[in-house]
C-alpha cells in the first residue's frame, strides 16, 4: 500500500496565514496515522495537500517515493472520507457505493459483486436498496466508508469522519473503522481533534499546534514520554500535573526536586533519576500524571507530598482529588486509594510520578 512522506512542507495561504509550518512526516505501508490537534492547527490542510486539493507553498509530498506535488488528485490512488460525507440523495445505497466504480468503467457484473462484498464487510448489506434519507447517521457513515473502500485505494484520507455522530456511535464506529482499515491493510491518515479517538485508533499519532508538528509516536510514546510541554499538557484527562522544580544532586546518592515548600527525593537507582540528574542546579518542569500518584493515609510513612484537598470530583469509574501542595495545585486519581478526607482536610501523596520528563525551559514552550 501507499507510503507517504512529507518533507519540509509549508503552506502559506494568500492572506498570509501560515497553516502548515515546515512539517516533515512519514506514513508507512499499511500504517494508521492520526493527525491530532486543536481546531485551526493545520491538520486538514496537511490532508488536503496529500490529496492534491491544495498545493504546498514549499516542500515535497511523496507517495510511494515519488514526488507528487504536481500530480492531480485523481491520479493519486487516494480515497477521502469527510465529516460531511455527502451521499447522492437520489441514488440508492448500492448506487452510491458503486458510483466510483461506474466512473472508472467497471462492468455491472463485477461492480455488483464488489459492492456486495464491501456492504457485507460494513454490515449494510441489507439496506442497499434504500435511499440515504432512510438511513441512520451511523449507516450513512458506513455508506461513505463503503464508497471510499470500493475502489481499493492505496491510501485513505479521513477528516473528522465521526464528528457529526453521537458519542456512543462514535465509539462503536471508531473500533469498526480502525478494524476494517487494518483488515484491508490500506495506509491511512485520519484527522481528528479528539484525543480519545487518536489514542485508541492510531498506530502512530502526529500532534500539531499552530501549523507546527510537535510530536510523532505510538499512543504509548506520546502519552508516556511527550516530546514537548505542549503535548504533555494537551494529552490526557485530567491534564498532566506540571510542577516547576529545582534539581539538586546529592553526592550521587539521590536527587532532590525542590518544589518550593516541599521536596521529592528520587533514589539513585530509579531510572527517572538519570533523566533529571544532569540538570543539577537548574529549574525544570516535572510531569506527573494523576494515575501515577497514590494517595496514602495522612500518617503513612515514607517519601510523600503533603496536600490539602480542595475538592473531589467523582466520575463513576474514577474519582479525582484536586489538591494544593504548597503554592501548587495538583490532581490525583484516588481510585482505590485511602483518601477519605473531606475537602479542606489534609492528605498525603506517595510520589510515584512515572513520567518524570526532561521538560526543560530550553527544550519546550510554555504550556497553554
Which residues of the chain form contacts with ligand ATP (CB under 6 A)? 13, 15, 17, 19, 37, 39-45, 193
Residue with cell 489538591: 323
Tell me whether residue 43 or residue 289 sits nearer to ligand ATP (CB atom). 43
Q: Give the span between the Cα atoms of 361 and 368, in whole angstroms.
A: 14
Taking the C-alpha atoms of residue 226 and residue 210, their distance in angstroms, rounded to an integer, is 17
Residues in the chain: 368
Q: Which is nearer to ligand ATP, 174 or 289 (CB)?
A: 174
Strands (DSSP E) along 13-122, which ranges? Answer: 18-27, 32-36, 58-63, 66-67, 78-82
Question: Smallest gap, in angstroms, from Cβ of residue 39 to ligand ATP?
Answer: 3
Q: How far is the CB of 191 from ligand ATP (least distance, A)?
A: 6
In whole angstroms, how close is the CB of 209 to ligand ATP at the nearest point? 9
Cβ proximity of 6 and 35 under 8 Å: no
Helices (H) and strands (E) in the chain, counts: 9, 20
Question: What are the beta bridge partners of residue 250?
Answer: 254
CB of 9: closest distance to ligand ATP in angstroms?
12
Which CB atom, from 21 or from 270, has the smaller least distance to ligand ATP?
Answer: 21
Rounded Cα distance between 259 and 261, Å, is 6
Question: Which residue's CB is nearer to ligand ATP, number 37 or number 138?
Answer: 37
**Residue 193 or 239 having the CB closest to ligand ATP:** 193
- Could you tell me the sign of the dihedral formed by the alpha carbons of 327, 333, 336, 342, in that order? positive
Residue among 37 and 295 whose Cβ is closer to ligand ATP: 37
Q: How far is the CB of 14 from ligand ATP (least distance, A)?
A: 7
CA distance 368 to 353: 22
Distance in angstroms (rounded) separating the CA atoms of residues 309 and 267: 27
CA–CA separation, 189 vs 32, rounded Å?
6
CB of 195 to ligand ATP, least distance (A): 13
Shortest separation between residue 48's beta carbon and ligand ATP, angstroms: 7
CA dihedral for 113, 117, 122, 126, sign (positive or negative) = positive
Taking CA atoms, 19 is separated from 47, 123, 126, 206, in Å, by 12, 38, 43, 16
148 versus 212: smaller Cβ distance to ligand ATP: 212
| Pick 160 or 334: Cβ nearer ligand ATP | 160
**CB closer to ligand ATP out of 42 and 337:** 42
What distance, in Å, lies between the first and last C-alpha atoms of the chain? 38
Parallel, antiparallel or unpaired: strands 32-36 and 187-192: parallel
Q: How far is the CB of 35 from ligand ATP (least distance, A)?
A: 8
For the CB of residue 44, give the shortest distance to ligand ATP in the complex, in Å. 3
Amino acid at each position: 500500500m501507499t507510503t507517504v512522506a512529507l518533507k519540509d512542507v509549508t503552506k502559506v495561504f494568500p492572506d498570509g496565514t501560515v497553516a502548515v509550518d515546515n512539517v516533515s512526516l512519514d506514513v508507512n505501508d499499511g500504517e494508521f496515522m492520526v493527525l491530532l490537534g486543536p481546531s485551526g492547527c493545520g491538520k486538514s490542510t496537511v490532508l488536503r495537500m496529500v490529496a492534491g486539493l491544495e498545493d504546498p507553498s514549499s516542500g515535497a509530498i511523496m507517495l510511494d517515493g515519488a514526488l507528487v506535488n504536481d500530480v492531480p488528485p485523481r491520479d493519486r490512488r487516494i480515497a477521502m472520507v469527510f465529516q460531511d460525507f455527502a451521499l447522492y440523495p437520489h441514488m440508492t445505497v448500492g448506487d452510491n457505493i458503486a458510483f466510483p466504480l461506474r466512473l472508472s468503467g467497471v462492468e455491472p457484473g463485477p461492480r455488483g459483486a464488489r459492492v456486495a462484498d464491501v456492504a457485507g464487510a460494513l454490515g449494510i448489506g441489507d439496506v442497499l436498496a434504500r435511499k440515504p434519507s432512510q438511513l441512520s447517521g451511523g449507516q450513512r457513515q458506513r455508506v461513505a466508508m463503503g464508497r471510499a473502500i470500493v475502489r481499493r485505494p492505496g491510501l485513505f484520507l479521513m477528516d473528522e469522519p465521526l464528528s457529526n455522530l453521537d458519542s456512543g456511535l462514535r465509539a462503536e464506529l471508531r473500533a469498526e473503522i480502525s478494524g476494517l482499515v487494518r483488515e484491508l491493510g490500506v495506509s491511512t491518515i485520519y484527522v481528528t481533534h479528539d484525543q480519545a479517538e487518536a489514542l485508541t485508533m492510531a498506530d502512530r499519532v502526529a500532534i500539531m499546534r499552530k501549523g507546527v508538528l510537535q510530536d510523532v509516536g505510538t499512543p504509548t510514546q506520546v502519552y508516556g514520554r511527550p516530546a514537548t510541554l505542549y503535548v504533555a499538557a494537551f494529552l490526557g484527562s485530567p491534564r498532566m500535573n506540571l510542577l516547576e522544580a529545582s534539581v539538586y544532586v546529592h553526592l550521587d546518592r539521590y536527587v532532590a526536586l525542590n518544589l518550593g515548600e516541599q521536596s521529592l527525593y528520587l533514589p539513585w537507582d530509579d531510572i527517572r533519576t538519570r533523566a533529571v540528574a544532569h540538570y543539577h542546579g537548574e529549574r525544570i518542569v516535572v510531569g506527573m500524571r494523576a494515575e501515577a500518584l497514590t494517595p496514602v493515609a495522612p500518617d503513612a510513612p515514607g517519601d510523600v507530598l503533603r496536600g490539602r484537598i480542595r475538592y473531589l470530583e467523582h466520575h463513576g469509574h474514577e474519582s479525582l482529588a484536586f489538591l494544593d501542595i504548597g503554592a501548587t495545585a495538583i490532581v490525583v486519581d484516588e481510585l482505590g486509594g485511602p483518601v477519605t478526607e473531606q475537602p479542606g482536610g489534609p492528605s498525603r501523596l506517595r510520589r510515584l510520578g512515572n513520567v518524570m520528563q526532561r521538560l526543560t525551559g530550553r527544550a519546550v514552550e510554555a504550556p497553554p
